[in-house]
Structure 1
Amino acid sequence: MAMLGLVVFLIVLFFAISAPLFANYEEEAIKQNVYEKFAPPSSEHILGMDSYGRDLFARIIFGARLSLLISLSTVGASLVIGCLLGSLCAYYGGWLDAITMRIVDIFLALPMTLMAVTVVAALGTSTANLIIALTISMVPPFVRIVRSAVLQVKGSDYIEAALAYGTKDMRIILTHVLPNAIGPIIVQATLNLASVLLSVAALGFIGLGVPSPQPEWGTMLAESKAQMRYQPWQVIIPGIAIAVTVLSINLIGDGLRDALDPKLKN
């Protein structure tokens, strides 16, 4: 199942990266043509046209590019910040660990999407603000996971040997601690990627995501919900895109968890 998820995700990634080869962004994904609105799927427009006369296939593949870009940027930024804070808290402990963990607990008490809604409402709707909002909401889980993973390897013999050799703390963290605690961190990053993708779509659906006319799957759902009864493909197509992509990422995450968790190998 993990390999199936990987194949599906690679297909989505391929269309996202090579989207300009299949459609013109300005002419097909952005430009409105009122004479062709609600046109059903045909040989010329394989997924039909939306309520503004824009090609749905073009918007889906360019939406995949934007959704994955936001999701990967968010997970990457939160992973870097979470690794830094979590490893420092676990390595040094004391007041730094106590204060940081209490702040993390406060953030974890709020749902990720609600936290993102609050930040976006304060900063305004834009792609950059959406990434900032989701990164803020994603850092606390990474801090917890990294701290837990680092605590498991902190007392290992090779860490004691590096300390006895006089290696600097930051070098120990970067070259000895984090590489040996990378398993659960990778699994958490993969599973969080699916969560972020859903949050991007949810924020777009309620009007706090990527501003229109930029193609984004959640925004496309919001624009087409009024036509659900008479042009159902307007809603079904972006909904399937979200569901398939999130499912493929979750399958990859489950496979990585089974492969990297030593308890599951025994």
Structure 2
Amino acid sequence: MTRMSRSRARRSVLVTAGLAAAIAVVCALALWRPWTSQDAAVSRAEAGPADAVAVASVDLPDHPRVLVFGDSWTWGAAASSPAEGYAYVLAELLDGETIVDGVPGSGYLVPGGEGIGTFGERIARMDPRLGPDLIIVQGSINDRHLPDTGYADAVTAAWDALAGIYPGTPVVVLGPAPQVLPVESATARIDRDLAGLAAARGWPYISPVLEEWITPEDYEWVIDTGDIGRDHPTSAGHAYLAQRVADALAALRPAR
């Protein structure tokens, strides 16, 4: 299921137009969203545990090699082709290379399709020779239909294994993005749990839920709600998400 994408891949006119429109819409949005789930309205201070440590900065080389690990959104579901998924588009935005490891249906508790395994099981099989400059762990909303029993333990074990395979490599956790609006309470709960666990490690956490990456104004073109898309991002939506991730990583760079 692992694919590689290199920088400078051509993007379609539709993707570029969608990205430009998305940025314009985001800049115009108000700070308060009455349609957002009450469960999602949690500040970063409330999300993290009391013993949270300082968040590490992310200092990337000029042409970084980035491992993007996640679920169907990372795989590129609903894009015109998986190569137009956000994880692949991100390579060009970073002027580097992305190693894309996305499995539809996979989560910390839920195994991916065809028995490929949970996040922890997939991490255990990863190649330690990849040598990424950065690891992005995305998602997952796939765990939202299960109770939270054992969730924190599964996340902790998966992240411990990842840090053991790639010691010293910075990790950024990209939380789940809402596939429907208003944000489901279970998705908001996963977002809070992951934010707290990342804060305890000092790992940067990016929250599409709290930062309201997907709103009613842009939902129709960012998300494909049809029988094929099944509430996954369109090609334009993937390009928009890639830009948001790139901007978030830029904000994590150490001050010069």
TM-score bracket for this pair, using the shorter chain length: under 0.3
With normalisation by structure 1, the TM-score equals 0.27
Identify the structure with the greater helix proportion.
1
Identify the structure with the greater strand proportion.
2
With normalisation by structure 2, the TM-score equals 0.28
Which structure has the larger Rg? 1
Structure number with greater CO (CA < 8 Å, separation at least 6) is 2
